[in-house]
Amino acid sequence: MQHILNRMIVQSMETDRSWFEGDLMERFLRYVRVHTTSDPHSASTPSTERQFDLARMLETELRSLGSTDVTLDEQCRLIARVPATGPGDPIGFMAHVDTAPDFPGEHVNPCVHERYDGGVIELGGGFTLDPAEYPMLSRYTGETVITTDGSTLLGADDKAGIAEIMTAVAYLTAHPQIHHPEIEVIFTSDEETGRGMDGFPVEKLRSGFCFTIDGTDEGAVEAECFTAYKATVSFTGYSIHPGSARGKLANATSMAATYIAMLPRSESPEATDDRYGFYCATEVTGGISKASATIILRDFDHDIVKRRISYLEQLARTIEGSFPGGKVDVNVDRQYLNMADFLAPHPEVLDRVRKAIAATGMEPVIHRIRGGTDGARLCERGIPTPNIFTGGQNLHGRYEWIALPAMVRASKTIVNLVQLFAG
Ligand SMILES: [Zn+2]
């Protein structure tokens, strides 16, 4: 097994820095201008047809880079293969084409600040990006920084990830002397609506391991996320005219309110951080005869989430006891599982990621996310998938920005990583 990076290749990538900068800049500026905002209120997949605009563009580009088996399906999932130049099991890289529906993503006009002077950046519309508020900016004094014009988001989440993968593929295609196994490139739709992996054709993938390129700070890898369940609690009351209700009415709205009030405040999102999970009521609707509450359950430890599920069931019986004639049903759906449990049997994967990041000149940092990723959904379907940084900052809003050297290092990390999987 070739576990030591070829020093010659690392050095030659250093001399290719301006090539990486040029290729990334051209791709990133082009991709962010394509309007790909997803829509959480749409029932279709993809949630917005516009996501195809970028997916089709990438389909053509991957074909012209010599990728094989390039397929774009009706759900806007693009899968392509970069042929192997050496032995080894296939590995995958994944990013998403949509941008967050939380903020306008149409008419994105990226602003390039070359040789950033370290001061306050005027975005436009009176909005500014101040290093006093966002100290990470100072790290890139003298470098190229890309921001919004203050009116839209930038879309670095996740077009930076897409550009970084595409540039790495272009580099590898131009340097067939670099040994790597087959690489699967996977671009998905609707990551931001949480539905991107619903019905994903995992059987089409050959990779034993995948990497989402969808994180933030340079050098960071996310290898642990919440285990997540969603409970839908239905309250059925007994309805009768309030004027003659004494001893008879079971008010479903009162039942729901009491139920939610009995969730432990010490285990709420606002009372927890670090390794501690929570209950969080995210929606309540109701009338006298029927009400419904949605409660999400999160924790890093699966047993603790199970304990919370059983508390919700016991609480249903308690509420039924105190509202005679009323009924409470709890339905629980699993959303995603902690990817750490799937990565634990394969310590070599994170080891190689650490090596690739260090070889690119950064300090690797393994993070825990208080949320989930599309990678977590792939993990439970048999493909361990940690999340690697893109360099993007202040995601999902007008203050989003990214530094070009961070993108270069993300792309080079991919080039270094694939070599560590060459058998
Ligand atoms: Zn993302």
Tens of pLDDT, residue by residue over 86-108, are 999 999 999 999 999 989 999 99
Same domain, 89 and 165: yes
What percentage of the chain has pLDDT greater than the value 90?
91
Bridge partners of residue 173, in order along the sequence: none
Q: Comparing 317 with 198, which gets the higher pLDDT?
A: 317
pLDDT digits (tens, 9 = 90+) for 45-68: 999 999 999 999 999 999 999 999
Q: Domain boundary at 283, 312, 336, which?
A: 336
**Residue 211 near residue 384 (C-beta atoms within 8 A):** no
Overall number of domains in the chain: 2
| Residue at 263 is within a domain | yes
Q: Domain boundary at 336, 352, 374, which?
A: 336
CATH of the domain at 237: 3.30.70.360
Same domain, 155 and 34: yes
- Residue ranges making up the domain that contains 246: 227-336
The whole-number pLDDT of residue 423 equals: 78
| CA 213 to ligand 1 centroid distance, Å | 8
Antiparallel, parallel or unpaired: β 220-224 and 387-388: antiparallel
Same domain, 347 and 314: no
218 is catalytic: no
| CA 126 to ligand 1 centroid distance, Å | 27
Among the listed residues 16, 191, 299, 400, the single catalytic one is 191
pLDDT mean across residues, the chain: 95
Does residue 1 surpass a pLDDT of 60?
Answer: no
CATH of the domain at 380: 3.40.630.10
| CA 401 to ligand 1 centroid distance, Å | 14
Q: How far apart, in whole angstroms, are the C-alpha atoms of residue 360 and residue 300?
A: 30
Same domain, 251 and 181: no
Same domain, 279 and 350: no
| CA 396 to ligand 1 centroid distance, Å | 9
Among the listed residues 98, 158, 190, 380, the single catalytic one is 98
| CA 319 to ligand 1 centroid distance, Å | 40
pLDDT digits (tens, 9 = 90+) for 12-46: 677 789 999 999 999 999 999 999 999 988 999 99
The whole-number pLDDT of residue 30 equals: 98
| Residue at 169 is within a domain | yes
| Residue at 28 is within a domain | yes
| Residue at 24 is within a domain | yes
| Residue at 1 is within a domain | no
Q: Which long-range contacts (CB under 8 A, 24 or more apart) does 13-17 make?
A: 13/171, 13/412, 13/415, 13/416, 16/171, 17/408
Same domain, 176 and 235: no
| Residue at 310 is within a domain | yes
Tokens coding 38: 């997803």
| Residue at 271 is within a domain | yes
Same domain, 130 and 44: yes
Q: Domain boundary at 319, 336, 353, which?
A: 336
Same domain, 179 and 272: no
| Residue at 2 is within a domain | no
The whole-number pLDDT of residue 11 equals: 58
Same domain, 311 and 216: no
| CA 160 to ligand 1 centroid distance, Å | 9
| CA 353 to ligand 1 centroid distance, Å | 19
Same domain, 386 and 251: no
Same domain, 47 and 25: yes
Q: Is the peptide bond before 157 cis (omega within 30 degrees of 0)?
A: no
Same domain, 184 and 266: no
> Where residue 195 falls among pLDDT bands split at 50, 70, 90?
confident
What is the signed CA dihedral for 32, 34, 38, 44, rounded to 10 degrees?
A: -150
Burial class (CB in 10 A: 0-12, 13-18, 19+), 388: buried
Does residue 409 surpass a pLDDT of 70?
Answer: yes
The whole-number pLDDT of residue 2 equals: 46
Cβ contacts of residue 338 below 8 Å, gap of 6+? 224, 225, 226, 227, 300, 301, 302, 376
98 is catalytic: yes
Q: Is the pTM of this model over 0.95?
A: no
Tell me the C-alpha to C-alpha distance, in Å, between residue 266 and each of 156, 230, 372, 408: 35, 19, 22, 43
